[in-house]
């Protein structure tokens, strides 16, 4: 089929939803579909077979866009809507595939151009208003709730990316055709492996002889970086643990903010902030580490990194929060309460209890192989696209 996909993100930049969009496109390509991607003018082109990237007109005053809702994003979405409408007028498509808030105007476009609409639901957008502290307005939240409800009710079919979202759809829209497709794909499917010398990375970041606790991802407040820093203060009082914290990701402003926070606690010598790193370097960072952490404290959608954590061969320490527990359990990770004391104890256990670390690594690998295979990802994608297409007949 020929698919018009609308992704209201800076594509591609290495962060949550753009990664999800990336792997959705790769799967559609492997299944033989042609994808025209309508997206923001911001981002890097990633060559994928059967993909055309058709960017919305450039807005000269917008060079970047922060994660989450913003006034700038509203302007970009208006421009993207008109761009998508123009593409639909010019070209013949078999399916409209929208991500996140593009589903709001995807309802209108699908109806106007008589296309089945596949809605890719990455999160509850009304919930995002609270998570990102975008507004306290109950009216605006109710408007978003209405838009989300309208999108789900009118979509031919839906994709959800985590069990909590799937439960939400099944409970509130029991007749809706939907499929849970978790973001299990490995980035090596798209990005070539980087044979970066591990010794060179250790030298660059002054990591020689240190036990590395790695976090990679965005540095948004909901990720729990403050919790990680507070737990580090407690952990470093334990003489058994000679630990160093390596954080990869985040904007320059966020990195500076957390560097200052670490300095205020006299922890600077125990933290390295690498900032943005190329996606193909992440496997090398993982290879350097002894423990992988995810201290997230808010939200319901699962972090994409958790699926690669399971395959990493490294012990995982994560908060006992719904974002994690819908994937992880106590046999595959050290799950802790979201307090500095508990998280510090969890990291200490991963570093000092070799038998525990070995057991959870083995169990994590088995879980990844049994429940989160890429073949299943492809099969689910194939099925939901077919179901959406059938709605046109």
CB 80 within 8 A of CB 65: no
| 3-state secondary structure (DSSP) of residue 216 | strand
Write out the two tokens for 290.
């002894």
User: Using CB atoms within 10 A of its CB, is residue 18 exposed (0-12), middle (13-18) or buried (19+)?
Assistant: buried
| 3-state secondary structure (DSSP) of residue 247 | strand
Write out the two tokens for 133.
């502290």
Other Cβ atoms less than 10 A from the Cβ of 209: the count is 8
Q: Which CATH number fits domain 198-371: 3.40.50.720, 3.50.50.60, 3.40.50.2000, 3.90.1150.10?
A: 3.40.50.2000
Query: Can you tell me the distance from the alpha carbon of 10 to that of 32, in angstroms, rounded to the nearest whole number?
Result: 25
Full pLDDT tens readout for the chain, 393 residues: 999 999 999 999 988 899 999 999 999 999 999 999 999 999 999 999 999 999 999 999 999 998 888 889 999 999 999 999 999 999 999 999 999 999 999 999 999 999 999 999 998 877 777 656 666 778 888 998 999 999 999 999 999 999 999 999 999 999 999 999 999 988 878 887 677 788 889 999 999 889 999 999 999 999 999 999 999 999 987 655 579 999 999 999 999 999 999 999 999 999 999 999 988 889 899 999 999 999 999 988 888 899 999 999 999 999 999 999 999 999 999 999 999 999 999 999 999 999 999 999 999 999 999 999 999 999 999 999 999 999 865
Question: Looking up tokens 């560097």, which residue turns up?
Answer: 259
pLDDT at residue 130 in the model? 65
Query: Can you tell me the distance from the alpha carbon of 242 to that of 151, in angstroms, rounded to the nearest whole number?
Result: 51
CB 122 within 8 A of CB 161: yes
pLDDT at residue 241 in the model? 58
pLDDT at residue 324 in the model? 97
Q: Which helix (H) or strand (E) is 287 found in, with range?
A: helix 282-288
Write out the two tokens for 46.
């990633």
CATH topology agreement for domains 2-184+373-390 and 198-371: yes
Helix, strand, coil tally for the chain in percent (to 5): 50, 15, 35
Other Cβ atoms less than 10 A from the Cβ of 327: the count is 23
Q: Strands 178-180 and 157-160: what pairing?
A: parallel
Write out the two tokens for 247.
């954080």
CA nearest neighbour of 98 among 122, 66, 132: 122
Q: How far is CA 49 from the centre of its chain?
A: 23
Query: Can you tell me the distance from the alpha carbon of 35 to that of 141, in angstroms, rounded to the nearest whole number?
Result: 33
Return all residues near 166 (Cβ < 8 A) that are at least 6 apart: 160, 178, 180
| 3-state secondary structure (DSSP) of residue 64 | coil
Q: With 0.95 as the threshold, say if the pTM is over it.
A: no
pLDDT at residue 124 in the model? 86
Query: Can you tell me the distance from the alpha carbon of 345 to that of 293, in angstroms, rounded to the nearest whole number?
Result: 13
Question: Looking up tokens 């972090």, which residue turns up?
Answer: 303
Question: Looking up tokens 């996140």, which residue turns up?
Answer: 100
pLDDT at residue 322 in the model? 94
- CATH class of the domain whose range is 2-184+373-390: alpha beta
Three-state helix/strand/coil letters over 150-199: HHHHHCCEEEECCHHHHHHHHHHCCCCCEEECCCCCCHHHCCCCCCCCHH
- Residue spans per domain, the chain: 2-184+373-390, 198-371
Return all residues near 74 (Cβ < 8 A) that are at least 6 apart: none
């Amino acid at each position: 089929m020929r698919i018009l996909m609308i992704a209201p993100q800076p594509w591609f930049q290495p962060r949550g939803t753009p990664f999800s969009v990336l792997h959705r496109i790769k799967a559609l390509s492997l299944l033989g579909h042609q994808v025209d991607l309508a997206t923001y003018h911001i981002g890097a082109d990633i060559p994928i077979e059967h993909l055309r990237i058709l960017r919305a007109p450039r807005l000269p005053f917008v060079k970047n866009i922060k994660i989450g809702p913003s006034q700038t994003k509203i302007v970009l979405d208006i421009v993207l809507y008109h761009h998508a409408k123009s593409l639909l007028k010019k070209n013949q498509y078999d399916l409209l595939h929208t991500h996140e808030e593009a589903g709001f105007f995807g309802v209108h476009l699908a109806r106007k151009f008589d296309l089945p609409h596949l809605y890719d639901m990455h999160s509850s957008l009304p919930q995002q208003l609270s998570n990102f502290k975008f507004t306290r307005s109950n009216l605006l939240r109710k408007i978003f709730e209405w838009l989300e409800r309208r999108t789900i009710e009118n979509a031919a079919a839906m994709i959800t990316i985590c069990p909590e979202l799937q439960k939400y759809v099944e409970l509130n829209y029991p007749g809706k055709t939907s499929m849970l497709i978790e973001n299990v794909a490995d980035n090596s499917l798209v990005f070539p492996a980087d044979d970066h010398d591990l010794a060179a990375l250790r030298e660059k970041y002054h990591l020689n002889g240190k036990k590395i606790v790695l976090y990679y991802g965005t540095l948004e407040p909901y990720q729990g970086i403050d919790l990680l820093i507070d737990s580090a203060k407690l952990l470093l009082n334990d003489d058994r643990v000679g630990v160093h914290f390596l954080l990869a990701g985040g904007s320059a402003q966020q990195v500076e903010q957390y560097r200052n926070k670490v300095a205020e606690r006299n922890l600077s010598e125990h933290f390295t902030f690498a900032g943005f790193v190329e996606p193909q370097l992440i496997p090398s960072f993982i290879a350097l580490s002894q423990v992988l952490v995810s201290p997230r404290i808010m939200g319901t959608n699962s972090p994409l990194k958790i699926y690669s954590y399971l395959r990493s061969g490294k012990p995982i320490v994560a908060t006992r929060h719904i974002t994690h527990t819908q994937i992880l359990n106590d046999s595959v990770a050290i799950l802790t309460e979201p307090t500095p004391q508990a998280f510090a104890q969890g990291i200490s256990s991963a570093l000092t209890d070799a038998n525990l670390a070995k057991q959870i690594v083995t169990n994590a690998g088995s879980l990844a192989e049994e429940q989160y295979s890429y073949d299943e990802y492809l099969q689910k994608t194939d099925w939901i696209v077919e179901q959406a297409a059938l709605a046109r007949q």
